[in-house]
Structures are given as structure tokens and as C-alpha cells.
Structure 1
């Protein structure tokens, strides 16, 4: 395996091509009062497109991203981009953070310093982490896999190999969205290596065994809410795991289409005050420049082929902590999670949504530190 430093550098001709496409955008018409009821609000989209074309400063955002420590690794034939922020403290704990869709490593910009150098941000140096933030295969700076068969299960294997090559035999895992699935699979596949798992989402594909103990009334209520969500808002997930290629053709060719598809979720799944437009557009622009929207859908295809369904008596053994943010997608009750996870901590958070590291980095960082604090004592 080889690890080499990496610097993000989008060429000028790519910036010019994007601006021209944005200026030639053709938006469909909308009906009075349509708003968000049938997808992206076109008035909001119009304003975002105008700012992207005329006000958004990509060079400034690129410079900000390059302040982070970027690397590329070759792992079993797969190139993986990652950020490696070494901790500042007496005994930093290795921690791998995994993003989801439609996110990227951009989600972790603010929380990185809070975890790696807590003493400089009002925390305790004893809570420091060596933080590793890989980009999922086929997402932004990690090239797409050359073959089928790389889903959350296989990504967990790549992350374990990456942490080995970085010299981290034992480490913690944290994630939301697809990152929660990858973190959970790390616990299934490598329980002896995980100090703990912290999640701010429970994978929708997670199903504990129900043969001996049927779902409780509260759990049945959750399953009903989840079904209602996917009936009214789950079209994106269904198409991304069944017929993604047709959708990818349009989104890969139109920055307006890409922005509408991604911003609908990034804005709709975040809690007030939400995500600022510079951060949103930085994330979407990375998808555009790297032409990764199609390959990002592969995690949905592959994940559906190997859901996180536990057999009777099977449990995810490493200690698990869960932070429940009020603006999150449907989350199961504590009892449902405890059926399959070694649940040690459960906290209802005061604010925040699906993109917790981006929306509420301070709250999430404090919760991650608190969860892993007892594990540090055991590791010492």
C-alpha cells in the first residue's frame, strides 16, 4: 500500500464550463403554491443557481479545503482519498469518521478540530482523537470502483485496512447515513479492533432478529413511520438502488439538475437554521467537478444486496452510543437498537438534523468525546 499527500486543484477550464452551463440553465415551470410539495422548490433553486453562477467563490472554498491534511491511499487496488488530522493531547484515540449521501468529507470540516484538538476549543486535551475521514469509494475525491461489489460491507474492510496501514490496530468508528452502515459493519466484521461505535443514525437496512421476541407496540410504530416516510419521500432511495444509471445521465450533464437533486435533501433533512449556501454549494460543486453522482449511487445498489440483517442471537459486540437529533429521518426506539447493538449510551439531542457534523459540530463533538471517555480508561 502507498500513501501520498494530495492537494485539491480544479482546473480553470472546468470552472469556465460550469459557469457557462449555469448561465444556460433551462428550468421547468411550476404551479402556484407548489413549493416543496413535489420536490425542489424552484424559487429557492433559482436563487441558488444565480448565486452559484455569479457570487460563489470556488477558489476561496478550495483554499479552505486545502487547509486540511489530504492524502490518497491504494487499498487492495482501490484508491481512497482521506483526511488525517493527528490529535493534540496526551494519548489521542484513533477514530474513523464516515460520511453518507449526499454528503462528503466537507461535512467534517468543522468537527475535525473539535475532536483532534479539544483543548483549543474549550475541551479537555485528554479527549483528543487522531481523526481519519475517508471519502467513500466513488464519492468526490475517491475514484469509483472498477467493478461491482463494493458496498458498506466491503467499505468496512477497506477502512480496516486503511487504519492498519496508518498504524492504528485499535480504533473507534463514527458515522451517520451510509457512514452509520459502514461503522456498523466494522463492528460486525472486526469487533476485536473496535474500541466503540458512535452513531447519529441507525441504518434503514438494519433489522434485528424478531423470531423469539416480536416487535413491541413502540417498535411497530417506528416501522409504520419509516414506511410512511419511504412512501412519501423515499423515491430518491428507490431509484438510486434500482435504476440509478438513467438518473445519473441527466445529473452528470446538468449542474442545475444536480443541485436540485442534492439540495432538496440537504436542505430538507437539516434542522433550523440548516446549512449555509456556501457549504451546500461546495459539496455539490465537488460532486460536479469529480463527476461522481452516478458512482455515489452504487452504495445504494450494493447496500440493498447485503442489508444489515442480524441472525437470531447475533449482536454487534463493540460498545455503541447513539445521538438522536430532532430533525433526523425516522429513528427507531432505543429498544429496537438494543436488540442488535451493544448499546451503552443513548442521548436525545436538543437541535440538529441529518447532517449532524455539519449542522451541530460542537454538540456532536461533545457527545462523541463523552461516549468514548470510558473506553479510554479501558484502553489505558
Structure 2
């Protein structure tokens, strides 16, 4: 059978019954018994503190306006298309300039197309912006089956750009979206103008894991990298669960909004400039809750975890651009990051910022937009 390649217009319209059900579940949350003496809302040493989580849940229930956020998201053109049997949701924002450069923005977990909401208007004078949701994320649900990992997703992303009429395009990504962006450039070098990757000190966790330590590091430098890796490892419990036991965590993320809130909100706790903040001090509270609401309404807490399982068990190597210009924008910069990740200074572009963190499009969209512009001005 020939696959239907149609691009179908899409508009977000969550049933009111689902909105009411969310508020009802939040109102009837069965909270754990608090541990005496642990009432500090800023103490994240054991995970997200209950005192802070209760504040955030109360606002989600009584202060957050989903319909207002839904209307803002619907201001952008959206569509769905089926690739290899999987429905993909795509945000497509055309520039007023018909000669603008097509730019695909890729994200990972716990991101969504909402992650780029504040970045888009800063780019559309120069770029046609395309934001595909990976399989199992947002409205790219439900999953059509097993086997949706990074390589298959990358091929689907390239096909989506073809269907939109973009033979040549630029690419940006963070988190797992950086993996998609790197693979696009490596496997489709004739199509990708350049690959721009957002990074933060968590990338040091890849050194010694996915990549060997570069030659010439002193014992002190290795110790400093290991310290960052150890801190990152303490925050990786969610990753190990999603990589290996998505069926176990999935029902909790689908049935309990507070469970989903705790699971995702903790990951938005920024370490920008070494300053430990609560999640909604790092990013806008309504944008954070719009992201989490999207996971809730689409049941993608469970299905996005399946994406991580598939990628972990795919046996894929990390692919970097080959013959395609690439660059990094590093946020909450660590002095050893380039020494460890790009010791030969092979990257065509490297910017470091003390501000921001793992979600730069939400934390510091102006900085990220300017860096994207700067990079692609130099390669296009």
C-alpha cells in the first residue's frame, strides 16, 4: 500500500471534560505523609519537595488557564502527517520573507513544541520555522508501535521537511533533539545547511561514557569532570527508569497528574550560574504548566518514556555532522566543556553563556535566537 503523504491542518481543542477531569484529580490528590522536619520548599536533595509541589499543584488547579494557553498555541499553523505508519504533529511558522531559510527545531524530554514558543517570534523574520514532535510526544501520539527510536525519527524528520517543500534546511536541537539534529547532518549532508546544538554542563556526562577522555587532561581536570558526572548521575534516576522500565512508570504518569507534575517539574530546576532555583524561577510558570498539561492531555508521559527505551536498546552510535558546518551554544558554561567535548576545536562555532541551562529556549530565548542567527549567517 502507498502511504498517505497528506499534510492535514490541525488545531488544539482539548475537550472540556478532560480539563474538568484534570482539576478534579488535582483537587483529590492523595498526598504522602510528610517527613517531620522536611518542610523546606527549596530543598531538592531528595527530589522535588512536597511543600513546593503542593504550591505548584494548587496553582495548576485554580490559577492556570489552559484555554488561554491553548489559544496562544493555536496562533501558529499546525498540521499532522503520517510517516511510516506514525502520526506526527508539526508546528509550521512561515516567515513573511519567501526567501527565508527553513529551520527545523528538535527537542527531547521533557520538552515539547511548547519549549520553543518564545523562540519562534524571534526567528521568523529570517527563518521558516518547523517544529516536529517526536513519536510519543505531544500530539504525535499514540505510538503506532515499537521501534521508534532516534534513527527512525531522524528519517521521519527529513521526510517531513520534504513534504513541506524544503529540500535544503538548517537544524537546531537540544537534549535528544541534538541527537536528531546531529544525525540529520550526518546522514543527509546534501540537505542540511548547518547543525546548531544547544548544550550545558550535562554534556560532560557523555565524556567517558559515550566519548573517551581527550588526551592531555590533567588528573585535576579529570577529577573536575568526574564531579560533574557524579552530580548528573544523582539526577539520572528518571532516565534509568525510562530507559529500562517504561511500562512500570507509564501508568502512574497517565493516571496521576501530581505524579506527572513531580516527574517533569523537577527537571526544570535550573543550575544557571550555579544558583539553585525552583523550576518556576528558572522558566515561566505558565509555560512550564502548559508543557506538563500537554503531556497530561495526550498521555505522552508514558509514550515518551517508550521513546527512551527504544533509543537505549537500539545500539545506535552518536553521529556528528560530517562535512556539514556545526556549532554549539553552551549555557551555564563549564570551563572544561570544550576541552572535553571539542578538544581539537573542530566545531565551526562555539559560544559560551553564563546564563541559561538545559532549556535555553525557555530560559534565555533572546540569547539562543541571536546565537542561531549568528551561526547560520556564517554558513548559509
Q: Is TM more than 0.5 here?
A: yes
Separation (CA, whole Å) in 1 of partners of 2:226 and 2:54: 36
Q: Conserved in 1, the CA contact under 8 Å of 2:103 and 2:170? A: yes
Q: Is the 8 A contact 1:5 1:71 kept in 2?
A: yes
- Matched ranges for 1:1-380 at <5 A: 1-31=5-35, 32-33=37-38, 35-89=43-97, 91-117=99-125, 128-201=126-199, 214=215, 216-217=217-218, 220-221=222-223, 224-268=226-270, 273-306=281-314, 309=317, 316-326=322-332, 333-338=337-342, 342-376=346-380
Offset at residue 308 of structure 1 (A): 5.8
Query: Deviations 1:131-172 (Å, cap 9, x if unpaired)?
Result: 100111100111143222111121110111111111111111
Q: CA deviation at 1:201?
A: 2.2
| RMSD over aligned Cα atoms | 2.6
Residue 92 of structure 2 aligns to a residue whose secondary structure is strand
The offset of 1:252, in angstroms, is 0.8
Shift of 1:193: 1.3
Work out whether residues 270 and 358 of structure 2, in 8 Å CA contact, stay in contact via their aligned partners in 1: no
Q: TM-score, normalised by structure 1?
A: 0.87
Shift in Å at residue 210 of structure 1?
5.0
The answer as to whether partners of 1:175 and 1:201 remain within 8 angstroms in 2 is no
Change (3 A) 1:305 1:269: farther
Q: Give the CA deviation at 1:269.
A: 5.8
Structure 1 spans left out of the alignment, 5+ residues: 118-127
- Structure 2 distance, partners of 1:224, 1:169, is 42
Distance 1:215 1:242, change over 3 A: farther
5+ residue gaps, structure 2, are none
Residues of 2 paired with 1:297 and 1:341: CA distance?
Answer: 34
Give the 3 Å change call, closer, same or farther, for CA 25–208 of structure 1 in structure 2.
closer
The alpha carbon displacement at 1:56 in A equals 1.1
Q: TM-score, normalised by structure 2?
A: 0.87
Q: CA 1:57 to 1:89, structure 2 compared with 1: closer, same or farther past 3 Å?
A: same
Structure 2 counterpart SS, 1:110: coil
Instruction: Call closer, same or farther: CA 1:325–1:110 in 2, change over 3 Å.
Output: same
Secondary structure of the equivalent of 2:378? helix
Deviations 1:49-108 (A, max 9, x none): 111111111111111111111111111221100111112336311110011111100011
Q: What's the CA shift string for 1:262-319, capped at 9, x where partnerless?
A: 11112346676411221111111111111111111123212222466369xx863311
How far is the alpha carbon of 1:215 from its aligned partner?
6.8
Number of equivalences: 361
